[in-house]
Amino acid sequence: MLEFGQPAALWTGLAIGLPILAHMAYRRITEKHAFSSIRFITPSQIPRTGRRTPTDLLLLLLRILLFVAVTMLLADPFLSSPEDPKVTTNAQETLLAVDLSPSMAGWNGLRDAKKRLKIKLQDAEGKFGMISFGQNGLKEWPIGTSVEELLKSLEQLEHGWMKGDAQSAIQRIPTFFSNEATKKILVIASDFQKSDWQGADINLPREGIEVEIIKVGQGDEMTDRAENLSIADARVVPAGPDRVRIWSVVRNWSKVNRDVVLELIVGGKIEDNASFLVPASGSAQAQFILPSSEISQATVRLSKSDSLNLDNQRQVWLKAPPAKRFGFWNSGDEDEETQMEKNFLRTAVESAGDNGWNRWAENSGNADELRMGEENSNLEFLMILGMGKWFEAEQLSDPLDSYLRNGGVVMITPNNIFGETASVIRKAGWFNFSFVRVAGGANSFRNPFRIGALSEESVLSQVFSGKGGRDLYLTAIRKFGILKNLGDEVDVPLRDREGRPLALLRNFDSGGRLIFMPFRMNTEWSDLPLRTSFLPVLMEISHGNEDTEQTLPILEPGERYGESDQQFTATQPGIHRFGERWLEVVFPPAESSVDTISENELKDMLKGGLVSDSLRFSRSEVGKKEHNSLWLWFAILAATFLTIEMIWSRPPYSSNQEKGISNA
């Protein structure tokens, strides 16, 4: 069958009239003859003609064929022939696709889908299969499964908790049907929630598949889809000594104001409730305050059920999150100075937290795992004391570099032989500086160095404003390494009164942070261990303005927490324990949306951009065809006609061409 890729170009065929008009308008030029005298020539009357006919009919035919060839060339002709499937018994194949996303549990969606698909199974002919999507991935029943088994499986289907993903199911559809099928039918039962379907894109009719839509979950007289309330968020934060605050956000999806009663369930009983108004298409929040007790969990829920009950409650964890972990690396031969330094730094870090919600705890096991190359050691702060030859001997540069580039925070203090530390740092490329000498030395106790005044722009100046700064500025630094020619990537948050660096800081793109203190935290180098003023200085330099609020990791069903083989996979909402951590799994917020794909959008989506008059698309409209292009043949034909026409219409060569006869 002859078809055209650009059928609009056929209108150029009207140009065929141009050579016809040219040939009709042409008059042959009479050849002139020389006479000595016309006196004896008798004049004659030229007869008038009523109509004119084209001249040079063969040339006219050639030019008409040329115009026809050019027109066909522009229209991009091709021969198409449908692929005829092999005729077999029961060649009609039907695949049922059932949406099991969480939103199908509301508005009677899944119940209606089961009811209508049962009718399809009982009335239709041929072979059947089924696929469900939205519940922990895809579940499949191949085409050819018995109707009895499909009816039983259909009845047992339940909604999932993962956010719907229609595209993964749609892409699998063509693989279900066999090549021998004379008719392929796909029946999709879904509420076509916009958040789940707006990314779906495949032209099923082009695959030879008829698509039938069963749109469910639109509500009825009792449950309108727009009448949905959902708990959009719930958080627990400390509210003072032995008290916690629970605040929740309720979303109203309808276009009218709604009165809401929010209940707090503790230990299976209603502990408190709050009544408030939620504006149309808006949200409002309520708060509850509870004393800290043995009760670790609570539930916030709406007092009344609505169209979708899955998003009407939220579990929260009432206990403080686990403490942040810190640890130490130092030489195996731990001397008294190192022990004194470790005790002081341990006190400085632990004092940065509190006894409840925000805590720091030493974890030597995780520090040792990191030292042995384990990247997933869950350590928030690492302190390396007296870095020297032992660090190079154990080849710890690579584990430390990986830790920094994964967002870790590290503080380094020098060895008693300062040059060893400077050499290790420069070789690893963490800091660029020139080491001059160690200031102080033998006279360290006679002429101590003092911390210089902090700039007003510094965060440290705000921490030590007022009385807190007096003790800081009286702190004695007995000896430290003098560093010069610092690289551009280095910040200096602390200097002595002569402007020499007392702390180097480098921030990595990954969020990691490296701090180098050119002196040690013991009484041989400074009197810092004897003062409390330096405790907050350490954490301000190492962690800056970090948000210290600790909360539980929040996941949606289907998401994972952890690395490598130690992973937690979220399955359904609730509070779950994973190792030493508690994790909160929440209902997917997108599934609460009441917006659905319109019928016109469905046509456009499943028809590859073409719009049909109904939601059923047949293979006869857009089926599989073999396309054999004729463009090259018509190009050759047009070139041949043009060459012949040019040769034919070329004027004959003559020394006196004005006496010749010209063609049209």
591 in a structural domain:
no
- Rounded to a whole number, what is the distance in angstroms from the first to the last CA of the chain? 38
438 in a structural domain:
yes
236 in a structural domain:
yes
112 in a structural domain:
yes
- The span from the CA of 544 to the CA of 383, in Å, is 16
Note the pLDDT of residue 311: 93
Residue 605's nearest CA partner among 226, 208, 194, 214 is 194
- The span from the CA of 606 to the CA of 217, in Å, is 20
Q: Are residue 263 and residue 174 in the same domain, yes or no?
A: no
Q: Are residue 617 and residue 497 in the same domain, yes or no?
A: no
User: Can you read off the two tokens belonging to residue 609?
Assistant: 């951009």
- The span from the CA of 404 to the CA of 382, in Å, is 10
Q: In terms of residue numbers, what domain contains 560?
A: 554-585
Q: Are residue 369 and residue 511 in the same domain, yes or no?
A: yes
Residue 117's nearest CA partner among 18, 52, 187 is 187
Domain boundary residue, one of 320, 343, 361: 320
User: Can you read off the two tokens belonging to residue 584?
Assistant: 């909160």
* Per-10-residue mean pLDDT, the chain, length 664: 77 81 70 67 61 72 84 80 52 90 91 92 86 77 92 92 85 87 90 86 80 82 73 87 88 92 91 93 92 82 91 89 89 88 89 77 91 81 94 92 90 92 92 89 67 73 64 82 89 89 89 91 85 74 62 85 77 86 89 86 63 39 57 84 81 52 47
- By the 10 Å C-beta count (0-12 exposed, 13-18 middle, 19+ buried), 525 is classed as buried
Q: Are residue 414 and residue 451 in the same domain, yes or no?
A: yes
Half-sphere exposure in the Cβ direction for 140 (13 Å, CA)? 13
User: Which are the contacts of 350, defined by CB distance < 8 A and separation ≥ 6?
Assistant: 360, 361, 362
CA 111, distance to chain mean position in Å, is 32
What pTM did the predictor assign?
Answer: 0.60
Q: Are residue 434 and residue 487 in the same domain, yes or no?
A: yes
Three-state DSSP state, 660:
coil
- By the 10 Å C-beta count (0-12 exposed, 13-18 middle, 19+ buried), 63 is classed as buried
- The span from the CA of 54 to the CA of 25, in Å, is 8
Three-state DSSP state, 523:
coil
Question: Which residue is listed with tokens 């920094």?
Answer: 404
| 3-state SS track over 61-118 | HHHHHHHHHHHHHHCCEEEEEECCCCCCCCCEEEEEEEECCHHHHCCCHHHHHHHHHH
Angle in degrees, 0-180, between the axes of helices 397-405 and 418-428, rounded to the nearest 10: 60
41 in a structural domain:
no
Q: Are residue 569 and residue 600 in the same domain, yes or no?
A: no
DSSP state of 513: E
Backbone angles phi, psi at 206, to 5 degrees: -65, -20
Note the pLDDT of residue 248: 93
Residue 109's nearest CA partner among 172, 187, 189 is 189
Cα-based angle 323, 325, 331 (whole degrees, multiple of 5): 155
How many other C-beta atoms can be found within 10 angstroms of the C-beta atom of residue 75? 22
Three-state DSSP state, 57:
helix
Note the pLDDT of residue 660: 47
Note the pLDDT of residue 359: 83
- The answer to whether 77 and 627 are in contact (CB under 8 A) is no
Three-state DSSP state, 482:
strand
- The span from the CA of 369 to the CA of 383, in Å, is 14
Q: Are residue 522 and residue 397 in the same domain, yes or no?
A: yes
Domain boundary residue, one of 480, 511, 543: 543
Q: Are residue 285 and residue 335 in the same domain, yes or no?
A: no
454 in a structural domain:
yes
Q: Are residue 336 and residue 309 in the same domain, yes or no?
A: no
Note the pLDDT of residue 286: 93
- Beta strand segments in 479-631, E: 480-484, 491-495, 501-507, 513-516, 554-555, 560-563, 566-569, 574-578, 581-585, 616-617, 625-629
* Domain harbouring 237, CATH code: 2.60.40.10
What domain count does the chain have?
Answer: 5
664 in a structural domain:
no
246 in a structural domain:
yes
- The span from the CA of 223 to the CA of 254, in Å, is 12
* Domain harbouring 434, CATH code: 3.40.50.880
- The answer to whether 160 and 135 are in contact (CB under 8 A) is yes
Residue ranges of the alpha helices (H) in 296-417?
336-350, 364-371, 389-393, 397-405
Q: Are residue 499 and residue 438 in the same domain, yes or no?
A: yes
- The span from the CA of 135 to the CA of 171, in Å, is 17
Q: Are residue 265 and residue 397 in the same domain, yes or no?
A: no
Residue 591, CA distances (Å) to 106, 121, 169, 284, 561 in order: 10, 29, 18, 19, 22
Q: Are residue 379 and residue 415 in the same domain, yes or no?
A: yes
Note the pLDDT of residue 327: 94
